[in-house]
Structure 1
Amino acid sequence: MDSHPRTAIRVLKPSATKVIMKLLLLVVVVFSTQAKAEWNMEHMYQHNIFTANQLQNFFTKTVSETNISI
């Protein structure tokens, strides 16, 4: 009876470690992706990549292509 719980703990431990490592990896990926997206938005804002004219042209083109009457 005494050896059974220890065996169960030994079997559980590697899988728990794998789960923890996968969660850490997921957190790192999510944070790096979010940071990159924020940097891109900041970069575009600072350099005014989208001017008011470009945005207006984009929306006009999109609306005309989808045949939506406003």
Structure 2
Amino acid sequence: MRPGSQSQRIKSLTKDTANALHWTCKCLIELANFLLTTDSALRHQYVALGFFQQNDIEHHFAHFRMAAG
């Protein structure tokens, strides 16, 4: 094939993935804002968003998927 004759693949997110990313970002922003501005004992001076993860939940779902076959 000649250079440039191949069709180029457009890389993009699926609608479901884009929607999940949108809601994840929105919720993290709201959570951080709450933790920084609340007048309760939950108030923080800073929020390290990199520490929020769902590995424990994913671990449980992996067991359910394996058990289901």
Classify the TM-score, shorter chain: 0.3 to 0.5
Considering only CA atoms, is the larger Rg found in Structure 1 or Structure 2? 1
Whose helix fraction is larger, Structure 1's or Structure 2's? Answer: 1
Higher RCO (CA-CA < 8 Å; seq separation 6+): 2
Q: Return the TM-score normalized by structure 2.
A: 0.38
Q: Return the TM-score normalized by structure 1.
A: 0.37
